[in-house]
Structure formats: structure tokens, C-alpha cells
């Protein structure tokens, strides 16, 4: 790996654990200014305070969300887009380049590809172009690959998730983001067949904190390299604490009960018996 890419990877993944807690906030293109990301600077402040390793943004939000203070975290600029208003929402198109992302200070770029639909051909061609450019610049590439379209009966079927993850590795991604398959046993097959770090998506808003934490614990037990959870973080009643709870599982090996106990008791401190904000300020 090029030294430039290796250094950038350490800005979006914890260099000690080799894992990451990413918070995607690119939803404004798809769905507009939804709850939790109306004020991007405040949304960034909250997840940074929780210890997020990186965030995902579209290019126009980088300046709007830049905090100029507080804990540091990596920046992943998202290169592709579609809207929920489109008659073809699964068809992603490139709206940014690797070079633009570099000028914005990005530590990595990401691309979204949906497979199993009539627009797969164009999205795979874009994937190839982005992978080439990212490799030339030493820029880490996160590929978000989802089986979505008329050829897909169940987008959470382990067989199609395995295919999606392997596709990302085959076409040059440095990390792949896919949906969780529902169990550590089936997700382990996804990880073993991919050959680059695999992180899980958060999916739709979940009904409980326990469900989120159990999904993450299962993925980590299966060998996942972390999480990339959006709505279930930035729409949480306390984004800072849910990020911290996720980090306890991803980076510290905490079980669900310990993370849930921390999340449900705001008066409690973290594992070093120090208030969360003070600890993060000290280590930043």
C-alpha cells in the first residue's frame, strides 16, 4: 500500500484496533434536510464528541459542517448520488471526483453502487473509473454495495450480500460497506469471501437501542471491521452517547449489556471513570 494511502486509512480507522465507527451524513441528497442533519455543524459536533472515527458527506456540506474545534475525525467525501424523487432512485450517478475531494481535504472517498437492476452497467463503469483515480492519488476508497433492483428478491439474503461484498473487493475498493445478514454465522461468510475490510450499514431507523447494538456486536463477532450507521446515530435522542456505545463494542470489545448500560445511564462515566467529554478533550 502506498504510504499516502496508509496514512489516510489511519485517519478513518483506529490505528490500534484496525476498526472504525463511521457516521454517514450524505442523506440530504437522497431525502432532503431530514431530522438530525438539518444543522450539519451541530450534527458533526455531536458525533465527534462521541468519538466517531469518520463521517461521510457530500462535497457541498464539507465547509458547512466544518467545526474548527473539538476532537478530530476523518472526512470521507461521497462521490455518487440519486434522490428519492427520481423514477429510478437505485440509479446512482457521479457528482464529484477524487480530485475535488482532495481539494476539500478528504481522507477518503466513497461510492454507492446498487447491483441487480437495469442501471448496474453504468454504476459499475463509474466504479471502475473512481477506483483507478483513487489508486493513482493514493486515496482510500469505500464502496457501498447493495443488491437492489428487479433482479433481487431479498436484499438481505446472505448469498447476494456475499456477492456484493466480493464485487467491491474485486473492483478495487479498500473497504466495503454492506448490509448485515442477520446473524454472525452468515456474516462471517461475507467477511471471509471479501478480502478487504467489511463494515456494516445501519439500514432504516431501528425500533430499539438493543437492536442496533446487537447487530453491531454480531457483525464484530463475525470479523467485521466496524460500522457505518447514519439514521440510527444522527436521529438518536443522544447521538454522542450512541456513538460512544458503538465504539465500546467496536474498539473495546464490550458486550451489548455493557454498552446498553452506558447508553441508558447518562450519569455514568466511561470505562476510565472519567466524564466522557473530559476524556475526549484530553486525548484529542
Task: Name the residues annotated as catalytic.
Answer: 26, 146, 177
**Using CA atoms in the order 233, 234, 236, 240, what is the torsion angle rounded to 10 degrees?**
80
Residue where the block lists cell 499516502: 4
Provide the grid cell at 199. 463494515
- Using CB atoms within 10 Å of the CB of residue 203, give its burial: 0 to 12 exposed, 13 to 18 middle, 19+ buried: middle
Local structure of residue 119 (DSSP, 8 states): T
Reported as type and span, the H/E element at residue 200 is: strand 198-201
Beta carbons within 8 Å of 59's beta carbon, 6+ residues apart: 77, 95, 96, 100, 101, 104
**Cα gap 207→263, rounded to integer Å:** 15
Cα→Cα distances 255→48, 117, 206, 262, 269, Å: 22, 38, 19, 11, 17
Which one, of 86, 110, 107, lies nearest residue 97 by Cα? 110
Cβ 160 vs Cβ 181: under 8 Å: no
Amino acid at each position: 500500500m502506498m504510504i499516502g494511502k496508509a496514512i489516510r486509512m489511519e485517519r478513518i480507522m483506529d490505528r490500534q484496533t484496525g476498526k472504525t465507527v463511521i457516521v454517514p451524513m450524505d442523506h440530504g441528497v437522497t431525502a432532503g434536510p431530514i431530522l438530525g442533519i438539518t444543522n450539519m455543524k451541530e450534527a458533526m459536533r455531536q458525533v465527534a464528541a462521541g468519538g466517531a472515527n469518520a463521517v461521510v458527506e457530500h462535497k457541498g456540506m464539507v465547509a458547512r459542517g466544518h467545526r474548527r474545534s473539538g476532537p478530530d475525525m476523518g472526512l470521507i467525501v461521497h462521490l455518487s448520488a440519486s434522490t428519492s424523487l427520481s423514477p429510478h432512485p437505485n440509479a446512482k450517478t457521479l457528482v464529484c471526483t477524487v480530485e475535488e475531494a482532495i481539494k476539500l481535504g478528504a481522507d477518503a472517498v466513497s461510492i454507492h453502487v446498487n447491483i441487480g437492476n437495469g442501471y448496474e452497467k453504468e454504476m459499475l463503469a463509474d466504479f471502475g473509473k473512481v477506483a483507478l483515480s483513487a489508486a493513482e492519488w493514493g486515496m482510500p476508497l469505500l464502496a457501498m454495495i447493495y443488491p437492489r433492483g428487479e433482479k433481487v428478491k431479498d436484499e438481505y439474503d446472505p448469498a447476494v450480500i456475499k456477492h456484493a461484498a466480493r464485487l467491491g473487493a474485486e473492483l478495487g475498493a479498500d473497504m466495503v460497506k454492506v448490509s448485515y445478514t442477520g446473524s454472525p454465522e452468515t456474516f462471517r461468510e461475507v467477511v471471509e469471501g471479501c478480502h478487504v475490510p467489511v463494515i456494516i450499514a445501519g439500514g432504516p431507523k431501528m425500533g430499539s437501542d438493543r437492536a442496533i447494538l446487537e447487530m453491531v456486536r454480531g457483525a464484530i463477532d463475525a470479523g467485521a471491521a466496524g460500522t457505518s450507521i447514519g439514521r440510527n446515530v444522527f436521529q438518536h435522542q443522544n447521538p454522542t452517547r450512541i456513538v460512544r456505545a458503538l465504539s465500546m463494542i467496536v474498539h473495546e470489545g464490550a458486550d451489548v449489556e455493557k454498552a446498553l448500560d452506558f447508553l441508558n445511564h447518562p450519569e455514568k462515566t466511561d470505562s476510565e471513570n472519567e466524564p466522557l467529554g473530559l476524556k475526549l478533550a484530553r486525548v484529542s
